[in-house]
């Protein structure tokens, strides 16, 4: 049975080129958490496509911004304890993820497809943070 999303093996993902660097291929023995391995593959593939001039900087930009906003969320939420800034940040994570998936689709549709579950999760996290912010106003 074919996998879906982050459970799919690279051979099951339509459009995944066999000529990607070795570090972007399946590594079942790595012991890394599944989602981390997928993020490395997906964001690494976008960086690889940029490095080989297959996509422009504007296509790579939302991936870079998404990583920055993702890394910012935890310190804002748990160190600063600022719900409003955390809400702004998670909305930016959602926005940049949608932007990234739309912009990369013409070049590597598999990156968009394997991120659908992640998109649903970020949507849920955004709704949750909105509720937390509203209840603690």
Domain region containing 68: 26-135
Q: Count the domains in the chain.
A: 1
- CA gap 121, 94 in Å, rounded: 10
Asked whether residue 124 is assigned to any structural domain, the reply reads yes
Asked whether residue 110 is assigned to any structural domain, the reply reads yes
Residue 42 — very low, low, confident or very high, per pLDDT cuts 50/70/90?
confident
Asked whether residue 18 is assigned to any structural domain, the reply reads no
Cα first-last separation, the chain: 48
Q: Is 126 helix (H, G, I), strand (E, B) or coil?
A: helix
Asked whether residue 20 is assigned to any structural domain, the reply reads no
pLDDT tens per residue, range 15-41: 555 555 554 444 444 444 455 666 777
Asked whether residue 122 is assigned to any structural domain, the reply reads yes
pTM over 0.75? The answer is no
């Amino acid at each position: 049975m074919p996998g879906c999303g982050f459970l799919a093996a690279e051979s099951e993902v339509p459009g995944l080129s066999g000529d990607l660097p070795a570090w972007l291929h399946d590594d079942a023995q790595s012991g890394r958490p599944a989602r981390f391995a997928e993020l490395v593959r997906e964001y690494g593939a976008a960086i690889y496509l940029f490095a080989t001039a297959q996509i422009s900087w504007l296509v790579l930009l939302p991936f870079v911004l998404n990583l920055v906003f993702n890394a910012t969320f935890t310190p804002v939420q748990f160190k600063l304890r600022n719900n409003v800034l955390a809400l702004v940040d998670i909305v930016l994570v959602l926005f940049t993820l949608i932007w990234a998936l739309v912009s990369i689709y013409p070049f590597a549709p598999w990156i968009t497809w394997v991120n659908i579950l992640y998109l649903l999760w970020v949507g849920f996290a955004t709704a949750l943070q909105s509720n937390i912010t509203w209840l603690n106003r």
